[in-house]
Amino acid sequence: MRRILKTINILFLFLFCFTCTNVQAETTKPQINAEGCVLIDASTGEILYGKNEEKVLEPASTTKVMTALITLEKCKLDDEVTVQEDFTKVGGTAIGLLKGDVLTVHDLLLGLLLDSDNDCANALADHISGNVAEFSKLMNDKAKELGALHTNFKNPSGMPDPEHTTTAHDLALFLREAIKNKDYMAISTTKSATIPLKNNRISPISVNNKNYMINKNSCYYYPFAISGKNGYTEKSNHTYVAAAEKNGHVLIASFLNALDKDQNFHDMQTVFNYGFDNYSLVHLYKKDEQISEYKINNDLTIPVISLKDIDYIVSKGKENTISSDLKIKKIDLSKKSFDKGDNILKGTIYVNDKEFITVDLAAGVSRTYEPLISIKSLSEESNLPIYIGAGVVVLAGLIGLRKFIKAGVIGLKDFISSKFRK
């Protein structure tokens, strides 16, 4: 009997140790070759893993994510661009554009994001801002708008410059914004393309996507990868920013100053797997979903809807421990008109009784406020008897007031006359 109990104890301890080992393996932080790295949740922006994520380093061609963002904001895809300078004056990777070549914004973006061509970057900058320096100002303004406070761009391509710098965290914020744009996603995930020149200078130019994680024929293929941009200069070494999606959960990772190109692709997958294995996305509220009600007055309560998806990140296994509550800031809407979907309120969301985020809230219905007497109400026949009656009352009052004033004036005159007669 003792031997059986001993065997059971040993087996129990073995299983316990095996379980603990597995848990430890799942939560072990990634070991990577890049100097700067970050992993963020695309929905909330929360940092899930970092290594020198705020250290200022050179981004190389990952710069082109921002160049594409500005271009998509300022241009239409079928806009035609006339190249202002030969590729030989730009330096770095190029598809060989010459001054006077004419091609569309869409085709320049293909060269920019797939083949990482610097002549395409400069052509877009010249088209939008007139020159590289002015375009860089747009890039820096956009960076600040996105909350990237440690970035300074000096050119649209990522050519080496001691003042052209960013951080892994800032870089991830740029791609987080870019993947919201369907045109960016369509272009950045194109495997290969042929770019025609409108002026027919030479035969069409072929470009191929260098983000190997989305290429099924590549040894670096990652089934969850959805977009990315890599770069390299001798000073910056290898840089990379990428996005991946698994079961509706989107993560973004970025690397700066990685010494080993091959290891860089493997490390990116390791970081993504760490995020997917250890964190879950909990959907608190869906965009356009009614999340509460708001009492305007004693006779009117309206539904309130969310203007965006509101999510929360938790560790795996804790998805069912989350509770949320919305507290709406009170304002007087009793004399306000609004349409369904209009931003009319602000609220604070609490998760497990702790303040999480402040959000804008929209009206779930339309409402037209009218004063007691309005032009519209006057035009309605059903209200005509009411207004006629009110008019008669007012008119009678005015006539009575007039008689009262007239009598008073006459009395005053008689009084004055009697005084003078005396």
**Fold agreement (31-280, 286-363):** no
- pLDDT tens per residue, range 368-408: 988 766 555 555 555 556 556 656 665 666 676 676 666 66
Quote the CA–CA distance of 157 and 81 in Å, as a whole number: 17
CATH architecture assigned to 31-280: 3-Layer(aba) Sandwich (3.40)
* pLDDT band per the 50, 70, 90 thresholds, residue 28: confident
User: Tell me, what's the pLDDT at 370?
Assistant: 83
* pLDDT band per the 50, 70, 90 thresholds, residue 414: low
pTM: 0.79
Please check the confidence at residue 3 and state whether its pLDDT lies above 80.
no
Q: Is the C-alpha dihedral spanning 54, 58, 64, 66 positive or negative? A: positive
Q: What is the β-pairing status of strands 80-82 and 47-51? A: unpaired
Mean pLDDT of the chain: 87
Give the distance from CA 152 to its chain's centroid: 20
Beta strands in 87-144 (DSSP E): 102-104
For range 86-101, the mean pLDDT:
92
Q: Which of 58-67, 120-129, 220-229, 309-318 has the lowest mean pLDDT?
A: 309-318
Quote the CA–CA distance of 37 and 253 in Å, as a whole number: 7
Q: Which of 31-40, 141-150, 295-304 has the lowest mean pLDDT?
A: 295-304
User: Tell me, what's the pLDDT at 13?
Assistant: 40
Tokens for 111? 């060269």
Q: What is the β-pairing status of strands 225-233 and 279-285? A: unpaired
For range 106-122, the mean pLDDT:
97
Tokens for 228? 């990315």
7: helix, strand or coil: helix
Q: Is the C-alpha dihedral spanning 168, 170, 173, 175 positive or negative? A: negative
Q: Which of 125-134, 348-357, 390-399 has the lowest mean pLDDT?
A: 390-399
For range 286-300, the mean pLDDT:
91
Give the distance from CA 255 to its chain's centroid: 21
- pLDDT tens per residue, range 54-70: 999 999 999 999 999 99
pLDDT top residue among 28 and 120: 120
Domain boundaries, the chain: 31-280, 286-363
Please check the confidence at residue 9 and state whether its pLDDT lies above 50.
no
Q: Which of 294, 302, 354, 346 is nearest to 324 (CA)?
A: 354
Residue 11 CB neighbours (<10 A): 10
Q: Which of 108-112, 117-121, 154-158, 397-401 has the lowest mean pLDDT?
A: 397-401
Quote the CA–CA distance of 23 and 316 in Å, as a whole number: 11
Quote the CA–CA distance of 217 and 95 in Å, as a whole number: 24
Which ranges of 189-333 would DSSP assign to H, the alpha helix? 261-278
* pLDDT band per the 50, 70, 90 thresholds, residue 352: very high
User: Tell me, what's the pLDDT at 32?
Assistant: 93
User: Tell me, what's the pLDDT at 96?
Assistant: 92
10 Å CB burial of residue 248 (0-12, 13-18, 19+) is: exposed
CA distances from 183 to 109, 189, 190, 196 (A): 10, 10, 11, 19
- The correct CATH number of 286-363 out of 2.60.410, 2.60.40, 2.40.160, 3.40.30 is 2.60.410
For range 207-218, the mean pLDDT:
94
User: Tell me, what's the pLDDT at 198?
Assistant: 86
Residue 386 CB neighbours (<10 A): 12
What residues contact 34, with CB distance under 8 A and at least 6 apart? 51, 168, 238, 255, 256, 257, 258, 264, 267
Please check the confidence at residue 148 and state whether its pLDDT lies above 90.
yes
For range 396-422, the mean pLDDT:
61
User: Tell me, what's the pLDDT at 112?
Assistant: 98
Give percent of the chain with pLDDT exceeding 70.
81
Tokens for 144? 């600040």
